[in-house]
Structure 1
Amino acid sequence: MNKLLYNRWWIDKEEKNFLLFASFSHAISDAWHMLFPMLIFIIDNDYNDYLFLSLLITITIITRAISGFLCGIISDKINSRYIFILFPLFSSLGCLIVFISTNQIVLGVGLSLLGLGTGIYHPISLSLISKNMKKHSEALGFHEAGGILGQSFLIISLISVAVQFGWKESFLLASFISILPLILMIKINNKFFLSKSNLHGNYTDSKLQLSSKFPIYMISIILVYSIIILLEGSTTATDSFLSAIIADLGGIGETTIFQIPKTALMYSLIVLFGTPGSILSGILSAKIGPEKALLIVSILCIPVLIFLYYQQSLILLITLPILRALISSRSPIQNVLIAKYIPSNKTGLGFGFMYGISPIIGAFIAIIGGYSIETYALKAVFFLASLIIILSLPLQIFLQSKKNIQSS
């Protein structure tokens, strides 16, 4: 059955092993990146200060951005295995320091190392998949979906530990789990970590040779990154406080069912709704193009966010999975856009720039979100997120017009 699947679909055994490894690592990177924010409804019991907690989130985001940008650049030049090793090591050490922290300074150091670790993963893996997989579009979709599935399981586990034993104990468990990619990496063929593979052509490489259209492509690249930065900022506004939204606005609190926190179950369910969103957006992007697909998804997000601003309890909990499906659908489209407009020998730099600049903007938005919550209410993050998306719409429309010029 497996052999039939490999032959009739698009994946062989070595590619399957690499994608399973990448998907598991993806789940850890995303779950650990959200570990502190998703436990914020419990951590707030110790600090009772959302503005201070948002500053701690900002520390993680900024260090994640720095490592993502630098590692993206380096991955275009050397064997990425040597850089990838730092991902589990820094992540594990950061979680361990958070667990043993006794004051705010040590806590900040731990979160900084955690950010450095999780930031390494995305630019390297997305670049390697784009360069070294024969069917990289399908592989990116599998990678996104697999990461979401793994992340939802990790979320249930870590929030359950936090409620039953304490939030620092969740970081201790995360510290041990972080080492697993280091062990799994041993079985991965070294060819998947090479930086110079070129199994397929790149749309931008051939187009950039047309000197008469080069200025148009430079404008398009600037537009692509401007749009992505704004959309990632919108995602940060909601994701940084999602667990608090579920627990407080959803009226769940720290209650449990079968000794599993209801907040953890709801958080995982919401994250799981990102799986169909990722798959469907890939299909939509292939049919109508990533530019138009991203514009449609962005427009759909706005009324959902505004609707959530006025809701609470059951209706809010029912609507949040819809929002997650829309948010998760943007990620594969954004990755396709980068792969489309960035030359294949610079994809590491392309993804590094995305995961370097976008989180820094997101960090400031997290602070704004924390200030909005302290000044107004927790639901203010929905209004903030919708406003940021609205700001991106003129840029997306302009990118669509540039695409039409390029194809003419």
Structure 2
Amino acid sequence: MVHTYELSIPILIPLWLAEFPVTQSTVGAVVAAGYALFGLGALPGGILSDRVGSRRLIAACLFGMAGSFLLLSVAPSMLVVGVALVCWGAAASVYHPSGLSLISTGVEDRGDAFAYHGIAGNVGIALGPLAVTLLLLVADWQTVTAVLAVPAVVAGAVALRVRFDERAAVTETDGGDSKSDVGVSSVSEFLAESKTLLVGPFAAVFLVVMLSGLYYRGVLTFLPDLLSGFPSFAPVEFGGRELQPYRYAYSGLLLVGVAGQYVGGKLTDRFATERALAAAFGALAVLAVVFLPAADAGLVPLLAVGALLGFALFVVQPLYQATVAVYTPAGTRGLSYGYTYLGVFGVGALGAAIAGGILQYADAPTLFAVLAGFAVVASGTAAWLSSR
């Protein structure tokens, strides 16, 4: 549900640009504000996860996201759209630190768990935009966003009822902590644990995840708008309706990410995650360079490179999730993932604003050159970490 909402937003951006008197730069800043809260709230969410447990936080996240999209459905202006997106970001922010902490402390086969968890996320990532695309054939965007709120309410009710041992996989040797050593209970303890994390090798992991977030948000936020301008995706008439092929191509690219998540999760059990991250980010740098030339070469090259981009973009996620688990103690795993998603979605949200500004004042080749730069630095950092 988190990713269903997250990736339905870019599909709505062309509609907001058409309905409200705003520029790409303005929309990029508004969307970035919502995505920023998605990341900034991860740190307090991680602290709460260590103290009160994951289940209740996940239920609150689901109900909060549903309410935010109901507000979005009645938004009369871009200002209210921005308020609704900020509310969504705040509600969604607690999910990743609580959900990933739950996996890392409650499941012994972490690699498989991260893989299946990633697959579920990518199902939402792909089916969210597809559901919005199909619903837009029969309803306006306000009705569509209201309908999207319903499944989150159902999922929240389920989350309130399930029971499980959240720390079943924690042992005395897991990060040097015991089962009873859980979380931080004071400001001084928070500062001490944060210092321990951020002056060690986790700092390099933190840099990698920030760059991953900048690339991820920078490429996906305006990709539907970019695809809509390619001749290969010109609107077509079918059954008396005008179809927008770029929306289906965008959903397909994201659906390929299911395979990327699965492969990335499996790689965590078979290779050093730092080396795998270096290779994956190297591939992302190459794909950023060749994406626009492939688009100019025709539909088939564009689809091929788009599929590879969708695959590589999501291979990295289980890899850095597992890397965090290796470099951090179990007792503050929620705090660790809080910092991780502060980097991925908080700092990473700047990718949306950066992309909007570049497209407004420069051009698409400049955007993809900047994205390639992010990937090169991430690849180099992961390679350095591996060498140590």
**1:390, distance to aligned residue in structure 2 (A):** 1.4
1:162–1:253 distance in 2 versus 1, CA, 3 Å? farther
Counterpart for residue 186 of structure 2: none
Secondary structure at the aligned position of 2:86 is classed as helix
> 2:261: which partner in 1?
278
Task: Find the counterpart in structure 1 of residue 4 from structure 2.
Answer: 31
Residue 352 in 1 paired to residue 351 in 2? no
Pairing 1:41–2:34 present: no
| Mapped contact 1:204–1:342 kept (Cα < 8 A) | yes
Return closer, same or farther for 1:235/1:202 CA change in 2, 3 Å cut-off: farther
Matches of 2:329 and 2:366 in 1, distance apart?
40
User: Which position in structure 2 is the counterpart of 1:142?
Assistant: 116
How far apart in 1 are the matches of 2:237 and 2:246? 8
How far off is 1:96 after superposition? 1.0
* Aligned equivalents of 2:198, 2:387: Cα separation in 1: 12
The CA distance in 2 between the partners of 1:92 and 1:216, in whole Å, is 34
- Tell me, in whole angstroms, the C-alpha distance in 2 between the residues paired with 1:234 and 1:352: 19
Give matches, 1:41-120, under 5 Å: 41-47=14-20, 49-120=23-94
Q: Which moved more, 1:253-262 or 1:124-133?
A: 253-262
Distance in 1 separating the partners of 2:226 and 2:93: 25
1:324 aligns with 2:298: no
The offset of 1:276, in angstroms, is: 1.7
- How far off its partner does 1:360 sit? 2.5
Matches of 1:71 and 1:220, distance apart in 2: 23
**Structure 1 segment 149-160 matched on structure 2, within 5 A:** 149-160=123-134
Determine if contact 1:159/1:170 at 8 Å carries over to the other structure: no
Aligned counterpart for 1:224 among listed residues 188, 196, 205: 205
What is the aligned counterpart of 1:176 among 138, 147, 150? 150
Deviation at 1:143, TM superposition (A): 0.9
Which secondary structure state, in structure 2, belongs to the residue aligned with residue 310 of structure 1?
A: helix
* CA–CA distance in structure 2, aligned partners of residues 71 and 169 of structure 1: 31
Q: Map of 1:184-203 to 2, 5 A cutoff?
A: 184-189=158-163, 191-192=164-165, 194=166, 196-200=167-171
Task: Provide Cα deviations, 1:196-239, integer angstroms capped at 9, x if missing partner.
Answer: 54445665438xxxxxxx99994311111111111221111101
TM-superposed deviation, 1:356: 1.6
Query: Does residue 121 of the first structure (1) align with residue 92 of the second (2)?
Result: no
| Rounded Cα–Cα distance in structure 1 between residues aligned with 2:56 and 2:40 | 18
**Is the counterpart of residue 293 in structure 1 residue 276 in structure 2?**
yes
Whether the 8 Å CA contact 1:72–1:352 is kept in 2: the answer is yes
Encode CA deviations 1:46-93: one digit per residue, 9 max, x unaligned.
Answer: 245110110111111121123222111111011323222221221111
Q: CA deviation at 1:346?
A: 0.9
Q: Which secondary structure state, in structure 2, belongs to the residue aligned with residue 286 of structure 1? A: coil
Residues 305-336 of structure 1: CA deviation (Å, up to 9, x unaligned):
10013232512233111111001000000100
| Unpaired segments ≥5 residues, structure 1 | 1-27, 207-213, 403-408
For residues 229 and 365 of structure 1, what CA distance do their matches in structure 2 show?
10
Greater displacement, 260-269 / 78-87:
260-269
TM-score normalised according to structure 1 size: 0.83
SS at match of 1:165: coil
Out of 369, 375, 383, which is 2:355 matched to?
369
Task: Tell me the matched-pair count.
Answer: 365
Query: 1:239 corresponds to which residue?
Result: 220
> Contact 1:203–1:341 (CA<8 Å) still a contact in 2?
no
2:287 to 274, 283, 304: 304
Identity of aligned residues (%): 17
Check if 1:263 corresponds to 2:236: no
CA distance in 2, matches of 1:205, 1:381: 43
Q: Aligned-residue CA RMSD in angstroms? A: 2.4
Q: CA deviation at 1:256?
A: 6.3
Q: Any stretches of 5+ residues in structure 2 without a counterpart? A: 178-194
Asked if 1 retains the 8 angstrom alpha-carbon contact of 2:126 and 2:255, the reply is yes
Report which structure shows greater RCO (CA 8 Å, sep ≥6): 2
Residues 216/76 of structure 1: CA separation in 2 closer, same or farther (3 Å cut): closer
Match of 2:371 in 1: 385
SS at match of 2:363: coil
2:200 is paired with a residue whose SS is helix
Q: Contact 2:170–2:330 at 8 Å: present in 1 too?
A: no
In structure 2, give the amino acid aligned to 1:223: A
The Cα shift of 1:135 comes to: 1.8
> C-alpha distance in 1, partners of 2:382/2:278?
6
Q: Secondary structure of 1:316's partner? A: helix
Name the stretch that deviates more: 143-152 or 116-125.
Answer: 143-152
**What one-letter code is carried by the residue in structure 2 that aligns with 1:269?**
G
The answer to whether the Cα contact below 8 Å between 1:39 and 1:243 also exists between their aligned partners in 2 is no
